[in-house]
Amino acid sequence: MRGIIKNLLTAPGIDCIECENGAQAIQKFRELQPDWVLMDVIMPGMNGFETSRNIIAEFPDAHIVIVTDYDDKEFRSTAEQIGAKGYILKEELIKLRDICSVSNL
């Protein structure tokens, strides 16, 4: 799935960095401070919500979009509470263009 998302977003001027787990995502965010983070909910180690909380606690202006298979009210509510900028189902990836407001995605 990461490969599909990366292919969708690949365009001139857009760098996509993949992380395998939450700890790696936090480390990469600290190093690179990207414009946007696409975060899955289910990951090895800490889940996407916990990872997002940690990133937003350290970088309050971080733009994180939860990308998941789970169309769940509690998950959506949690994403909103932690400050995620969006919640997208993997089957609706095309909506990333609207959320990220980047015309060349």
60's CB contacts (< 8 A; 6+ apart) are 83
Fold of 2-11+22-100: Rossmann fold (3.40.50)
Domain boundaries, the chain: 2-11+22-100
Extract the tokens encoding 89.
Answer: 């189902």
Question: What's this model's pTM, rounded to 2 decimal places?
Answer: 0.82
Check residue 33 and report its DSSP letter.
-
What is the pLDDT at residue 104? 41
Render pLDDT for 51-86 as a digit per residue (tens, 0 to 9). Answer: 999 999 999 999 999 999 999 999 999 999 999 998
- What distance in Å separates the CA atoms of residue 46 and residue 22, rounded to the nearest whole number? 6
User: How do strand 64-68 and strand 37-39 relate by DSSP bridges?
Assistant: parallel
Q: Does position 38 have pLDDT exceeding 60, yes or no?
A: yes
Task: Please tell me the total number of residues recorded for the chain in this structure.
Answer: 105
The pLDDT, as a whole number, for residue 103 is 40
